[in-house]
Amino acid sequence: MDTRRILICTDGSRASLAAARAAIDLAAGWKSEVRAVYVVETADADGKPAPEMIERMREGGRAILNRIAQMGDAKSVKVVQALLEGVPFEAILNDARGWKADLIVMGRTGRTGPGRALLGSEAERVLEFTERPVLIVPTIETIAP
C-alpha cells in the first residue's frame, strides 16, 4: 500500500491523541504527508448552537490541532492543520476525498464489554462510508505532549 498522505481525525479525546501519535510515527517512517482535521459540529439534534458557542469550539479545535502539530514537530513531521465545520463524519469523508488521503487514522473510544460499542459513532460512520483504508487506534493510557 502506497501511503503518502495520512489524514488524522481528532476531537481532542485521549483516543484521538493516541491515534495522532501513531499516525505521526507512521508518517515519520514512511515520509508521508500529514493532515490533521478537527470538525466543529455546527448543527446538532437541537439545531444550530449559538455563535459564541461555535467560536469557543473553533478555539478549542485550533488548540488541539496545535498540540498535534507539536507532536509532529517532535518527530520532524510537518502537520498541516484543517479546522472544518459541519457533520463530523461527512466533513472527514469530504476532506479525505478532496485531499486524496491514502489512510485515515482515528481513535477508538475504548468502551468495551457486552452491549457497548467498540468504536465511536463518527468512526463507525467513516468506516461504513469510506472507500479508503482506515486505521483505528486504541486508547493508550498515557499521552505525552
pTM of the model: 0.87
82-105 per-position pLDDT tens digit: 999 999 999 999 999 999 999 999
Please report the pLDDT score of residue 116 as a whole number. 43
Provide the residue-wise pLDDT of the chain in tens; the chain has 145 residues.
789 999 999 999 999 999 999 999 999 999 999 999 999 998 766 777 788 889 999 999 999 999 999 999 999 999 999 999 999 999 999 999 999 999 999 998 644 444 444 456 889 999 999 999 999 998 755 445 5
Percent of the chain with pLDDT over 90: 72
Residues contacting residue 116 through CB under 8 Å, at least 6 positions apart: none
Helices (H), 2-118: 14-30, 51-74, 88-99
